[in-house]
């Protein structure tokens, strides 16, 4: 596995693959890799000939400086996890390479960026859309692989690629969970032991509410009951619980097409998000 730090070197490598007729996949990450990321890399390796994993802790998507400072930076152990899988390139540019002095552009997606995580994290999705559009253009890949855990991000990235005519297929991959149901996240490592044992209640509340909705339960009552449940998790600070259509994230009043139940809950200073599919009754 090659470690590449500049756009020029990445383009040269991808150019060689293209001349050999290879397809290219990209897995964008901010590092602190866990089994969820590795499942994306395996999927990319299964579907494309050459795989680039990007590792860049993007300052533009953090609306809170202390969250950026606390974000784990573990490049060496990330590289050790990727090598045995057979990833071809780890692309880890510096902040100066990604945003050279004089950088003034922002990519902003409206609609799907609004509400949910967009409401509580001002500027977050502009930062995501800006860096991901750059990564797509730098890598020139055929397919990009993203986890469904960040479901709104997946919509933002898809919309951005379509609207900017970036010729890449954005592939959404299922959330990977711990044995107790907690969705894997780089942030989980920052949970205290007590918060970690309470965190599985988020996934359980979502799953059970989704099952009730799919069985035809009243939407308002089910969401209210699930909200009470999330608010009663010890030490939890509830941010949102919402039912949105799976295809465009529009709010759901009646379940006539597939939906997602999405939530954000803080445990201590760690913000956890999760979502589950909701079938039409």
Q: Does 29 participate in binding ligand PAF (rule CB under 6 A)?
A: yes
Q: How far is the CB of 122 from ligand PAF (least distance, A)?
A: 16
Give the whole-angstrom CA distance, residue 122 versus residue 107: 14
Out of 14, 26, 30, 160, point to the residue binding ligand PAF (CB under 6 A). Answer: 30
Binding mask 193-212 for ligand PAF (x = CB under 6 A): --------------------
3-state secondary structure of 146: strand
Residues 137-166 binding ligand PAF (CB under 6 A) are 150, 153
Residue 8, judged by CB atoms within 10 A of its CB (0-12, 13-18, 19+), counts as exposed
Q: Does 93 participate in binding ligand PAF (rule CB under 6 A)?
A: no
For residue 72, what are the CA distances in angstroms to 46, 65, 192, 250? Answer: 28, 14, 15, 33
Give the whole-angstrom CA distance, residue 248 versus residue 159: 10
Q: Does 171 participate in binding ligand PAF (rule CB under 6 A)?
A: no
Give the whole-angstrom CA distance, residue 119 versus residue 141: 31
C-beta of 53 vs 230, nearer to ligand PAF: 53
C-beta of 118 vs 209, nearer to ligand PAF: 118
Q: How far is the CB of 61 from ligand PAF (least distance, A)?
A: 6
Active-site residue list: 37
Binding mask 47-76 for ligand PAF (x = CB under 6 A): -----------x--x---------------
Out of 14, 41, 132, 230, point to the residue binding ligand PAF (CB under 6 A). Answer: 132
Give the whole-angstrom CA distance, residue 57 versus residue 130: 13
Distance from chain centroid for Cα 133: 15
Q: Which stretch binds ligand PAF (CB under 6 A): 24-32, 176-184, 245-253, 261-269?
A: 24-32
DSSP 8-state code for residue 177: B
Give residue for tokens 């009043």: 253
Q: Which residues bind ligand PAF (CB under 6 A)?
A: 28-30, 58, 61, 128, 131-132, 150, 153
């Amino acid at each position: 596995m090659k470690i590449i730090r500049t756009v020029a070197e990445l383009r040269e490598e991808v150019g060689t693959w293209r001349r050999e007729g290879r397809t290219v996949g990209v897995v964008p990450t901010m590092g602190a890799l866990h089994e969820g990321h590795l499942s994306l890399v395996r999927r990319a390796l299964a579907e494309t000939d050459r795989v680039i994993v990007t590792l860049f802790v993007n300052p533009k998507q953090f609306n809170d400086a202390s969250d950026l400072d606390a974000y784990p930076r573990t490049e060496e152990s990330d590289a050790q996890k990727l090598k045995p899988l057979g990833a071809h390139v780890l692309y880890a540019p510096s902040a100066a390479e990604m945003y050279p002095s004089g950088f003034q552009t922002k990519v902003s997606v409206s609609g799907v960026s609004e509400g949910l995580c967009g409401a509580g994290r001002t500027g977050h999705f502009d930062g995501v859309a800006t860096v991901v559009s750059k990564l797509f253009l730098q890598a020139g890949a055929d397919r990009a692989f993203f986890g469904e855990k960040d479901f709104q991000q997946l919509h933002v990235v898809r919309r951005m690629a379509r609207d900017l005519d970036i010729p890449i297929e954005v592939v959404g991959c299922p959330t990977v969970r711990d044995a107790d149901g907690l969705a894997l996240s780089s942030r989980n490592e920052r949970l205290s032991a007590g918060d970690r044992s309470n965190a599985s209640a988020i996934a359980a509340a979502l799953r059970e509410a989704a099952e009730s909705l799919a069985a035809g339960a009243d939407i308002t009552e089910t969401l209210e009951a699930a909200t009470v449940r999330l608010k009663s998790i010890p030490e939890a600070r509830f941010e949102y619980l919402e039912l949105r259509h799976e295809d465009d994230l529009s709010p759901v009043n009646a379940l006539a097409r597939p939906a997602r139940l999405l939530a954000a809950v803080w445990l201590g200073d760690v913000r956890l998000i999760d979502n589950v599919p909701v079938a039409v009754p």
